[in-house]
């Protein structure tokens, strides 16, 4: 009986090692990873590398690495062997892929870029709060909210001057009635004196209309002094 008992355990004992079909190395069974739905098993590190390369190539619907096997490799099943960042990136790409391109909306703030769904009433919405960073942005211009300036006015602003700080400066200049040098775009404030301004860049212009100063300009300037 003792001899038969020992033969039984030798027959059914799980091997302590296995050979990975990807790297061909013999590994401990504790480092094995089995694909759900098929009988293919690989080492955890090879599956991690496989997933990492695929995600970098923007391939997110993954299958078993075995040739001819099309069993799906689910991201939730791989959670335990993937670094948190890789798992989150994969999950984010899957969620994004599930939303039709025409319905996707991304936060315009550079440090956020959260993905949102436009929704049925999107055309009627101009001000929207991001679900990620909770900041306000304009859905028509797709920029951080341009306070004190409507969309038409904002679209006329040069692309290099559309940052939030630039918009705030423009609003301040408007309130204080500052003029702007037509040559270098530097803001100039006149405390007193005539309308003849000489900017730091050397350009001479009229503070009232912004026109280049030449003989007889005061006679043709149609803007009243400020």
Q: How far is the C-alpha of 226 from the C-alpha of 176, rounded, in Å? A: 11
**CA dihedral sign of residues 195, 196, 197, 201:** positive
Kindly report the backbone phi and psi dihedral angles of residue 118, in degrees, each rounded to the nearest multiple of 5, phi listed first.
-60, -45
Residues 47, 36 contacting (CB under 8 angstroms)? no
The answer to whether 105 and 117 are in contact (CB under 8 A) is yes
Rounded-to-integer distance, Cα 27 and Cα 21, Å: 11
Sequence-separated contacts (24+) of 129-132 with Cβ below 8 Å? 132/107
Clarify whether 130 is annotated catalytic: no
| Other CB atoms within 10 Å distance of the CB of residue 131 | 13
Task: Count helices and strands (H / E) in the chain.
Answer: 6, 13
DSSP, collapsed to helix, strand or coil, labels residue 111 as: coil
Quote the CA–CA distance of 207 and 199 in Å, as a whole number: 10
The kind and range of the H/E element at 137 are: strand 136-138
Determine which one of 184, 194, 198, 201 is catalytic: 194
Instruction: Give the SS3 label for residue 32.
Output: strand
* Catalytic residue annotation: 194
């Amino acid at each position: 009986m003792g001899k038969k008992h020992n033969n039984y355990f030798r027959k059914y004992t799980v091997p302590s090692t296995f050979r990975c079909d990807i790297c061909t190395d013999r590994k401990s069974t504790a480092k094995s990873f089995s694909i759900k739905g098929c009988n293919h098993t690989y080492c955890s590190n090879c599956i991690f590398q496989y997933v990492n390369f695929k995600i970098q190539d923007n391939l997110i619907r993954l299958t078993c690495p075995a040739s001819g096997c099309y069993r799906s490799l689910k991201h939730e099943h791989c959670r335990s062997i993937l670094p948190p960042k890789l798992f989150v990136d994969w999950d984010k790409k899957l969620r994004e892929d599930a939303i039709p391109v025409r319905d996707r909306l991304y936060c315009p703030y550079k440090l956020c870029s959260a993905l949102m769904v436009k929704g049925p009433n999107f055309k009627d919405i101009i001000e929207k709060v991001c679900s990620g960073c909770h900041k306000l942005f304009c859905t028509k211009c797709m920029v951080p909210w341009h306070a004190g300036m409507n969309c038409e006015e904002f679209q006329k602003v040069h692309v290099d001057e559309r940052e939030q700080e630039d918009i705030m400066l423009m609003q301040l200049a408007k309130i204080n009635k500052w003029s702007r040098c037509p040559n270098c775009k530097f803001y100039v404030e006149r405390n007193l004196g005539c309308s003849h301004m000489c900017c730091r860049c050397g350009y001479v212009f009229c503070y009232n209309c912004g026109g280049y100063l030449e003989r007889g300009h005061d006679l043709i300037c149609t803007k009243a002094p400020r």
